[in-house]
């Protein structure tokens, strides 16, 4: 579609051009020497905080973002382009280390690198998980972080549209409940104007044949069942709605906000003269060869760089596991074993395809150009449909009839588990508490154990939503410019690969239902009903990869359970330093994560009412 690029760049640039608060690299000298809050990372949580903090006109905020502004290209804005078009210019393009519990190969590990972070490149899925996912956080010692506590902030972040076309309502049973959604929040959420037919309906009918209930509203607190899930897309144009679109663009002219792009924070600066180290600012630079600059934070430094870069920066700044910091040659300010550990992700696999149907893979050549024009001019057609929309989130009892025996085997310790060598007694105690909590969740009928997905490519996927394996993220040197070590350690608890196999066998039953058999799905090599246990384990270990939900690397747990932050998300052993991103999750929710990250950031806005007027303030 190269011939369209020039003509459509301006027309399809759906994120308005920004100015005012935006400080590009060539204007970096215009920054102030100090701000009340310095936010590291301009992704989802960073932009939520920037918006809410600067509602107080005398509160001056700086956001430092390593990426730039996306240019509004259709490859980002069109929901139907997800997974089809190259957006690597907005990606860190990291890879994991070889996965020793799988096939000893590394994995791609994409992370958003732009103003808006992952919301610029993610799958746009808007799911909250079940109430029990968050109530389990309270059971782990985090009072004030249950479902009822977070629900107002889920609502606050969203502007939900219940509009659904007749096909979606009548055939796909989409029946949203507006009462449990927000109506005036920054992020527009709703349903596309096109659904791939017949595969979407056949998928839902197929899982229903297996006893999985079709639910019209997946975000009311019990997500188990099958549904078409809402997405973060604009109501009028059916385009991507990112954190930049919702939280930054409307306030870009606020005089008390600066967002510096192309700036990587190299270290958090501390004052060690009085008690616990106090974060007083940061160092940053445009690249490894550029001059390093300093900025002072009068009140707080807030790390919102995500589950990989937040713990890496903490370690390089002297906050993290003592033994690892000493290996790097970093002066240890706070020995905090939880920083970089407890890493969790949803492992995913794609065992089947449905050939011969019209899918997003047909959006090429003249057909792709015509459908792209339809989306741009009429805001309809397949380009309104994200990669992920028809999904089943079954509980473990629905998938594994012998679930009780399997969970008892975990309790009895008869299934191999390998925690990282870096785990001290606090991390091990924390893991034991998490393990008991997750077993309890897997026993429930209202908590998702799996995500089974029919995607716009015509593929079927299986993901594990309550993983037991724990990985880690770590700095590899004293320099932030060296790539971090990302080790999810997939299937280091052997039950995770057992869970994947159970999910794949359930998927085998799905593709042989009357509804799905009509589509004549084809199993990938090494998968399918006739494959033996040994063959399937080899295949899944060669194919398992990330569902792109990294989290939990600076967890909100007590310090004696390996936690890194308290329930106000303040970093233990420091002052003036907070973490607000998916790093703080104690356990990963059984859903896609963006809605939870928005809610967490909305909930934790630091108090700014005490900031008083002074002559150098812009009020």
| Binding site as annotated, residues for FAD | 122-125, 265
From the annotation, which residues make up the binding site? Answer: 122-125, 265
Determine the 3-state secondary structure of 391 from DSSP. Answer: strand
- Residues pairing with 347 in the sheet: 546
Q: Which two tokens stand for residue 275?
A: 């008690």
Residue 309 bears catalytic tag? no
Q: Report the alpha-carbon distance of residue 317 to residue 301 in Å, rounded.
A: 12
198 cis-preceded (ω within 30 degrees of 0): yes
Determine the 3-state secondary structure of 538 from DSSP. Answer: helix
**Alpha-carbon torsion angle 351, 353, 354, 360, nearest 10:** 130
Cα 3 to the center of its chain, rounded Å: 34
Q: What are the Cα distances from residue 394, in Å, to 292, 349, 356, 452, 465?
A: 50, 16, 28, 8, 10
Cβ(380)–Cβ(79) under 8 Å? no
Helices (H), 12-87: 44-53, 74-77
> For residue 140, which of 424, 395, 338 has the smallest C-alpha distance?
338
> For residue 109, which of 485, 602, 449 has the smallest C-alpha distance?
485
Residue position matching structure tokens 């997405």: 231
CB count, 10 Å around CB of 71?
14
- Residues pairing with 265 in the sheet: 284
Q: Report the alpha-carbon distance of residue 541 to residue 494 in Å, rounded.
A: 11
Q: Which two tokens stand for residue 527?
A: 């998968």
Q: Kindly tell me the burial class for residue 198, based on how many C-beta atoms sit within 10 Å of its own C-beta (0-12, 13-18, 19 or more).
A: middle
* Inter-helix orientation angle 425-442/403-411, to 10°: 170
What lies within 8 Å, CB to CB, of 474 at 6+ separation is 311, 312, 315, 324, 340, 484, 485, 487
> For residue 281, which of 539, 36, 528, 50 has the smallest C-alpha distance?
36
CB count, 10 Å around CB of 538?
14
Which is the catalytic residue, given 258, 493, 545, 549?
A: 549
> For residue 318, which of 300, 330, 336, 304 has the smallest C-alpha distance?
330
Cβ(384)–Cβ(237) under 8 Å? no
Residue position matching structure tokens 């239902």: 513
Q: Report the alpha-carbon distance of residue 207 to residue 308 in Å, rounded.
A: 35
Catalytic positions are 549, 592
């Amino acid at each position: 579609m190269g011939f369209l690029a020039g003509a459509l760049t301006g027309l399809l640039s759906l994120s308005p051009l920004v100015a005012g608060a935006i400080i590009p690299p060539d204007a970096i000298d215009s920054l102030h020497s100090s701000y009340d809050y310095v936010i590291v990372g301009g992704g989802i949580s960073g932009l939520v905080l920037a918006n809410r903090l600067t509602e107080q006109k005398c509160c001056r905020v700086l956001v430092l973002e390593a990426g730039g502004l996306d240019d509004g290209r259709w490859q980002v804005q069109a929901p139907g382009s997800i997974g089809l078009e190259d957006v690597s210019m907005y990606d860190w393009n990291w890879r994991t280390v070889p996965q020793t519990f799988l096939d000893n190969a590394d994995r791609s590990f994409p992370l958003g690198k732009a103003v808006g972070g992952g919301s610029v490149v993610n799958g746009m899925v808007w799911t909250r998980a079940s109430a029990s996912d968050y109530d389990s956080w309270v059971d782990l010692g985090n009072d004030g972080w249950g479902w009822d506590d977070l629900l107002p902030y889920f609502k606050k972040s969203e502007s939900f549209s219940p509009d659904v076309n007749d096909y979606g309502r009548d055939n796909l049973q989409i029946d949203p409940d507006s009462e449990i959604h927000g109506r005036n929040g920054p992020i527009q959420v709703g349903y596309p104007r096109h659904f791939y037919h017949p595969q979407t309906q056949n998928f839902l009918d197929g899982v229903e044949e297996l006893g999985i209930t079709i639910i019209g509203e997946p975000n009311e607190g019990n997500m188990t069942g099958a549904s078409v899930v809402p997405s973060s897309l604009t109501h009028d144009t059916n385009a991507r709605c990112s954190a930049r679109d919702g939280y930054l663009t409307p306030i870009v002219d606020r005089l008390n906000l600066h967002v510096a792009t192309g700036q990587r924070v190299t270290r958090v600066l501390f004052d060690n003269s009085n008690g616990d180290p106090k974060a007083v600012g940061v160092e940053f630079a445009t690249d490894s060869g550029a001059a390093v600059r300093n900025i002072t934070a009068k009140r707080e430094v807030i790390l919102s760089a995500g589950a990989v870069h937040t713990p890496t920066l903490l370690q390089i700044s002297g906050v993290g596991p003592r033994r690892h910091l000493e290996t790097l040659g970093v002066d240890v300010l706070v020995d905090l074993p939880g920083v970089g550990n407890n890493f969790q992700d949803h492992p995913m696999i794609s065992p089947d395809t449905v050939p011969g149907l019209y899918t997003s893979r047909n959006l090429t050549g003249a057909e792709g150009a015509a459908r792209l024009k339809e989306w741009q001019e009429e805001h309809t057609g397949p380009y309104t449909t994200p990669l992920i929309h028809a999904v089943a989130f079954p509980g473990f009892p629905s998938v594994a009839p012998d679930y009780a025996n399997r969970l008892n085997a975990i309790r009895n310790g008869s299934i191999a588990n390998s925690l990282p060598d870096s785990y001290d007694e606090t991390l091990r105690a924390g893991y034991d508490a998490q393990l008991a909590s997750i077993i309890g969740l897997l026993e429930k009928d209202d908590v998702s154990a799996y995500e089974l997905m029919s995607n716009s490519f015509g593929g079927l996927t299986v993901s594990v939503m309550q993983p037991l394996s724990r990985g880690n993220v770590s700095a590899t040197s004293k320099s932030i410019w060296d790539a971090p070590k990302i080790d999810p350690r997939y299937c280091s608890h052997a039950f995770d690969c057992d869970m994947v196999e159970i999910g794949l066998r359930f998927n085998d039953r799905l593709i042989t239902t009357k509804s799905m058999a009509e589509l004549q799905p084809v199993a990938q090599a090494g998968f399918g009903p006739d494959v033996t246990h040994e063959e399937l384990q080899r295949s899944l270990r060669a194919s398992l990869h990330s569902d792109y939900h990294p989290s939990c690397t600076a967890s909100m747990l007590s310090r004696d359970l390996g936690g890194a932050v308290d329930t106000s998300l303040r970093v233990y052993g420091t002052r003036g330093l907070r973490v607000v991103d998916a790093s703080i999750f104690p356990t990963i929710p059984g859903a896609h994560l963006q809605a939870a990250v928005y809610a967490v950031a909305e909930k934790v806005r630091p108090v700014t009412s005490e900031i008083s007027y002074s002559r150098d303030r812009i009020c």
